[in-house]
Structure 1
Amino acid sequence: MMSTTIFVEAFKQAFDFDITLAEARGPMGMGKWDHIRTLGNTPAIAERWVARFGQPMSDTDVSVIYDAFMPLQIAEVKEHAALIPGTLDVVTLLKEQQIRIGSCSGYPRPVMEALAPLAAAQGFVPQSIVASDDLEPGSRPGPWMALQNVIELGVMDVARCVKVDDSAPGIEEGRNAGMWTVGLALSGNEAGFTLDGFLAASEDEKQHVRQRVEARLKAASAHYVIDTIADLPGALQAIGQRLADGEKP
């Protein structure tokens, strides 16, 4: 939920304008400038903005909010960099199977430069990292970041790649790139759990969130939806069998 609250704070700081957490969460997974632009185009927010300022939100306004967002994001990411439980076990398994690991993110490069060393200190070092502002065409749901990972990792067959993501735009990115896609139902911003909140939640609460997030990820055409990264090996085994049977994404 860390990034979601920062969007609320950035709107407030830049223009003393209020948006809700639910509104802020809507475009999660997009590049952050695009995320703010999308929020400004959302009918409910756009209506309030015009009522307040007398004209639609401009790209200049978006950039002012983005400039307020960035230092907040860089400072906050350092407090929320702990790996999801099970991540290192899965990474070890992938390395043993000689599966290459790339990362592409809705975070811009300055945020990734703050986050990557923190992840590395915990043992997670992707072989490729692509940020949302690295490429001229843009970010999600376009395929460009995912395909840049393919280039940097030296992968010959995109149809053998698997895009794992906790957001609908990230799943759409993978599908647009021609990859298999696996959505994460309980460990991302769509779910909204902190680790403590997840551990304290009842099974009924988890099931309610699981159904809500799974519906959103399936609507984005995820091939599989799992709870957390710890469940990825099962999905990869199923994808491997489908590949062996001659299927493509």
Structure 2
Amino acid sequence: MNAITAAEIQTLDTQAVDLSPLQAVIFDWAGTLVDFGSLAPTQIFVEAFSTFGITITLTQARGPMGLSKWDHIHQLLQDPSIAAQWSSKFGRNPSNADVDDIYARFMPMQIAKVGEFSAPIDGAVQVLQWLRANGLKVGSCSGYPREVLNQLLPQAAKAGICADHVVAGDELSSGGRPGPYMALANVLALGISNVRACVKVDDTVPGIEEGLNAGMWTVGLSLSGNEVGYSAEEYSKAPTAEINARVAVAEAKLQKSGAHYVVRSIADLPTVLADICERMRRGEAPAG
């Protein structure tokens, strides 16, 4: 499946495109709409743990990405090497109270830094415009808590990224990913009549599982997101062979999670949505 360039996307709203089988697309934020490489949360996890004298790698920090941030920290503390560091330093195994303490340290650091990572991923602005021009609603959800989103959303809006509805990772008592709850909250808020007419787009395994558990079509993003993890600058300088190798690993992971489609970035989405619509016209459904 060939990528559609940003320049090509700009002309799509003048073309006759029938997306009528679909009603909405629900996006993740970091690594999907903004923040190429999903850098904002990753680096802050490393810094937050370091304030407790615990060293974690960027790779470890990326592991549970897509979960709510409290759950993310909890999952990191289950990593044997991180738990061993904690036990050595504090003389006991990490507890939920320790998760609370790290989370309390993480939050102000993330709030202060997230605005620096609000730049749209190439093609995102044009794709959102194209979706709305063709009658689709734009939902979104995130592992970010609402306090963090309150800093990110105004910056993203200034750059042309705005959703019709946003659900934060700490807003639902029923829980976050990989459960379907944030995706289904979008369905309710947007007045969608059929979850099978929705597409969930995400760069993480928990985000794909969220869409599948909600009964939606799912699209995984490899290059732009957490699984590859390049900054825009790193990507511009990386050898093609290295890029392709990292993308292949990310694609395999997202495909294994059950994603209906895996593409490199949001710029590829129009082609995917057209294919989904054709499948729906033939009577296919996500669960099929």
TM-score bracket for this pair, using the shorter chain length:
over 0.9
1:101 alignment partner, SS class: strand
Amino acid across the alignment from 1:91: L
Amino acid across the alignment from 2:106: F
Task: Pick one of 1, 5, 8 that aligns with 2:46.
Answer: 8
> When you count helix as a share of all residues, which structure comes out higher?
1
Task: Pick one of 75, 93, 96 that aligns with 1:56.
Answer: 93
Quote the sequence identity (%): 50
Q: Does 1:41 align with 2:88?
A: no
Instruction: Provide the aligned C-alpha RMSD in A.
Output: 1.0
Separation of aligned partners in 2, 1:190 and 1:77: 19
Separation of aligned partners in 2, 1:40 and 1:79: 27
Task: Pick one of 133, 153, 157 that aligns with 1:96.
Answer: 133
2:242 alignment partner, SS class: helix
1:212 alignment partner, SS class: helix
Specify every segment of 5 or more residues in structure 2 that has no aligned partner in the other structure, as ranges: 1-38
Task: Pick one of 188, 197, 209 that aligns with 2:225.
Answer: 188
Amino acid across the alignment from 1:194: S
**Which residue of structure 1 aligns with residue 69 of structure 2?**
32
**Which residue of structure 2 aligns with residue 213 of structure 1?**
250
Shift of 1:102: 0.6
Shift of 1:137: 1.4
Amino acid across the alignment from 1:129: V
1:139 alignment partner, SS class: coil
- What is the TM-score with the length of structure 1 in the denominator? 0.97
Q: Which runs of 4+ in 1 moved over 6 A?
A: none
What does the per-residue CA deviation read over 1:111-144, in whole Å, with 9 as the maximum and x for residues that have no partner?
Answer: 1111111111112210000000010011111110
**Which residue of structure 2 aligns with residue 235 of structure 1?**
272
Q: For structure 1, which segment, 37-46 or 102-111, has the greater mean C-alpha deviation from structure 2 after superposition?
A: 37-46
Separation of aligned partners in 1, 2:79 and 2:179: 20
**Which residue of structure 2 aligns with residue 162 of structure 1?**
199
Q: For structure 1, which segment, 30-39 or 203-212, has the greater mean C-alpha deviation from structure 2 after superposition?
A: 203-212
**Which residue of structure 2 aligns with residue 69 of structure 1?**
106
Relative contact order, CA 8 A, sep 6+: which one is greater? 2
Shift of 1:45: 1.9
Separation of aligned partners in 1, 2:90 and 2:282: 58
**Which residue of structure 1 aligns with residue 26 of structure 2?**
none
Separation of aligned partners in 2, 1:116 and 1:134: 16
Separation of aligned partners in 1, 2:251 and 2:262: 6
1:41 alignment partner, SS class: coil
Task: Pick one of 105, 127, 145 that aligns with 1:108.
Answer: 145
Separation of aligned partners in 2, 1:118 and 1:243: 36
Specify every segment of 5 or more residues in structure 1 that has no aligned partner in the other structure, as ranges: none
Shift of 1:225: 0.5
Task: Pick one of 179, 193, 202 that aligns with 2:216.
Answer: 179
Aligned residues between the structures: 248
Task: Pick one of 147, 165, 168 that aligns with 1:128.
Answer: 165
Separation of aligned partners in 1, 2:125 and 2:59: 31
Shift of 1:232: 0.5
What does the per-residue CA deviation read over 1:188-230, in whole Å, with 9 as the maximum and x for residues that have no partner?
Answer: 1211111122222232122111111111111211110000101
Separation of aligned partners in 2, 1:19 and 1:194: 19
What does the per-residue CA deviation read over 1:12-70, in whole Å, with 9 as the maximum and x for residues that have no partner?
Answer: 11x21111111111001110000000111122322332233222211110011001111
Separation of aligned partners in 2, 1:16 and 1:28: 22
Q: For structure 1, which segment, 189-198 or 174-183, has the greater mean C-alpha deviation from structure 2 after superposition?
A: 189-198
What does the per-residue CA deviation read over 1:161-196, in whole Å, with 9 as the maximum and x for residues that have no partner?
Answer: 000001111011111111110000000121111112
Shift of 1:89: 1.1
Separation of aligned partners in 1, 2:273 and 2:219: 9
